[in-house]
Amino acid sequence: MVFSSLFFVLLFLPVNLLCYAFAKTIQTKNRVMLIFSLIFYAWGEPVYVLLLIAVSFVNWALALGIGKSEDSSRRKWLLVAASAVSLFSIGVFKYAGFFLSQVKALTGFPAVVPSIALPIGISFYTFQILSYVVDVYRREVPYQPQFSKFLLYVSMFHQCVAGPIVRYQDVAAEITERKVSLPELGRGITRFTVGLGKKALLANTCSLIADTLLLSADTMAQPGAAAAMASRPAFSLWLGLLAFMLFIYLDFSAYSDMAIGMGLMIGFHYKENFNYPYLSRSVSEFWRRWHMSLGSFFRDYVYIPLGGSRKGTGRTVFNLLVVWGLTGLWHGASWNFVLWGLYFFVFIALEKLTLGKRLSRHPALSRVYLLAVVYFGWILFHFTDLGLMGLLLKGMLGLNGNGFIDFEGRTTLLNYLFFLIAALVSVTPLVKRMGAVLRRAGQTSVLAGGIYNVVNVGAPPVLLILSVLALAGNSYNPFLYFQF
């Protein structure tokens, strides 16, 4: 089940909110959310919901021992055991097949590499569990004595399958006690409908353009993929990659918007996960604005414990190498993701050494630099086949004998020009700033105040109606980050 489905929007979520509203006590409200969260997860993973519960229980029990113990040696061994359980789980289900396929390529063994289905959201909920156990070990959060409350934290359907990665310390108090005010309920509904509109109206359209002009994941696996890529005109490839660049931001940030909005509807306050990353002026800044919950996880639980930037230039570069190798691998068990992570490592290391100071003196040039680095970086993310990646790069330069533009590329641009402009505006804070200006003007102008109120009240239902119509009329509704 995905948030951008008619079943979820028109049935699952309304029924959930209705049951939640009728629950009188916080204990009953938590039970409602836990039941709905397990149903949500089991809807797509009827077997792997047991894995989620089992891994959660073992880690909860071990963290309980860590929290209660005063023996430093015992606490360390319990931390190691808890970490091993989580890492073994994600290792088996996400990376075992990849590792065995590499061993087979080198040695010929094993004869058959088992195909293991990837549990939805395992990367997200595993990191949440790890952060909780480590924070209990560090005495930064109190241990949770009730397993049901811990399981609610891990499995909450708002963010369990695709983030943001929520720290226990950010929601611990709200699991025990929370209230919902009408203004916050309104903010939550608005945030959810904005995310739904961003996904259904813009992200899906950008994905369709990218799959038409580049190659979809299914097409890449077919025998004629290389010939199809080599025949693409250069303009179509540049436009297709731009559409993919817009899609991946709109798709993932839309999911975070919807998760944050649903949290507000019931009194949870999840941290922001995106802050207009394409407006950054360096790769380092980009990663402080993109998928912020993942970046802060690697910073606090890998980079800083390794020594951060406190032990000299060489050690800093090594620590960055480890973090970005892991960041790439976290996104998928494939060499292209590892290369994608290392690609960003190179630029971040250069910025740490010398490039960052030079960029800071040229604000306009630094923005162009950032967009170029990220634009070409998405090639590594999109193509699992390195051969197809090479054909794409040659084609973008016209070296495949493929020409510059054809009827399909020109027609696609004209047909979707409005959506592309809207998508480009959506990756900036322009609309938000216009709203803020209108709100301030409304304090002194009756007309401006009236316009602001009409837009503020009318936008959510209009977005909801348009999104539902788009979803009803289109079965094309991918969500990229479900694979992680």
Where do the structural domains in the chain lie, given as residue ranges?
6-178, 185-483
Tell which residue, 294, 292, 296, 318, has the closest CA to residue 307: 318
Half-sphere CA count of 271, side-chain side, radius 13 A: 18
Among 158, 291, 331, 382, the one annotated catalytic: 331
Confidence (pLDDT) at 480: 62
Amino acid (1-letter code) at residue 104 = K
Confidence (pLDDT) at 8: 94
Separation of alpha carbons 156 and 250, rounded Å: 23
Separation of alpha carbons 58 and 82, rounded Å: 7
- Does the annotation mark 291 as catalytic? no
Residues 389, 352: contact at Cβ < 8 Å?
no
**Hunting for tokens 């050494």 — which residue is that?**
353
- CA distances to 108, 194, 228, 259 from 277, rounded to whole Å, are 44, 18, 32, 19
**Hunting for tokens 């289109």 — which residue is that?**
474
Per-residue pLDDT of the chain (484 residues; tens, 9 = 90+): 889 899 999 999 999 999 999 999 999 999 999 999 999 999 877 899 999 999 999 999 999 999 999 999 999 999 999 999 999 999 999 998 888 888 888 888 887 778 888 898 999 999 999 999 999 999 999 999 999 999 999 999 999 988 799 999 999 999 999 999 999 999 999 999 999 999 999 999 999 999 888 877 777 777 788 888 888 899 999 999 999 999 999 999 999 999 999 999 999 999 999 999 999 999 999 999 999 999 999 999 999 999 988 888 899 999 999 999 999 999 988 999 999 999 999 999 999 988 888 888 888 999 999 999 999 999 999 988 888 899 999 999 988 888 888 877 889 899 999 999 999 999 999 988 888 887 888 777 777 778 877 877 788 899 999 999 988 877 666 656 555 5
Q: Give the torsion sign (CA, 196, 202, 208, 210).
A: negative
**Hunting for tokens 């395992």 — which residue is that?**
122
Query: What is the value of pTM for the model shown?
Result: 0.92
The tokens of 190 are what?
Answer: 């608005």
Nearest-5° angle of CA 232, CA 238, CA 242?
Answer: 130
Separation of alpha carbons 481 and 259, rounded Å: 14
Confidence (pLDDT) at 360: 86
Contacts of 211 (CB under 8 A, 6+ apart): 219
